[in-house]
Amino acid sequence: MPRPRKLTLSISDLKCFKTLKSELESISELKGFDIDAGQLIFKETYTFKVRPKNIENAIERLTRFIEKTTEQQIFVRQDLADLLGISRPTLDKWIEKRVIMIDTIPTYQLRRPTFLFSAKNAQYILEDLRNYLTVYVYGEETDLSESEVDGQI
Q: Following DSSP, what letter does each residue of the chain receive, concatenated?
A: -PPPPEEEEEGGGSTTHHHHHHHHHT-GGGTTS-GGG-EEEEE--------HHHHHHHHHHHHHHHHH--S-EEE-HHHHHHHHTS-HHHHHHHHHTTSS---EE--SSSSS-EEEE-HHHHHHHHHHHHHHIIIIIS----S--HHHHTT--
Domain shared by 29 and 62, yes or no: no
pTM of the model: 0.58
Domain that residue 27 falls in:
6-43
Domain shared by 64 and 138, yes or no: yes
Determine the average pLDDT of the residues in 59-78: 81
Domain shared by 108 and 36, yes or no: no
Domain shared by 103 and 135, yes or no: yes
Residue 61 has a pLDDT of 93
Residue 138 has a pLDDT of 73
Residue 19 has a pLDDT of 94
What percentage of the chain carries pLDDT values higher than 70? 75
Determine the average pLDDT of the residues in 82-102: 88
Which has the minimum average pLDDT: 56-65, 83-92, 97-106, 144-153? Answer: 144-153
Domain shared by 105 and 61, yes or no: yes
Task: Tell me if 1 is assigned to some domain.
Answer: no
- With a cut of 60, say whether residue 145 has pLDDT above it: no
Domain shared by 97 and 39, yes or no: no
Assign 112 a pLDDT band (cuts: 50, 70, 90). low
**47-68 tens-digit pLDDT:** 778 888 999 999 999 889 888 8
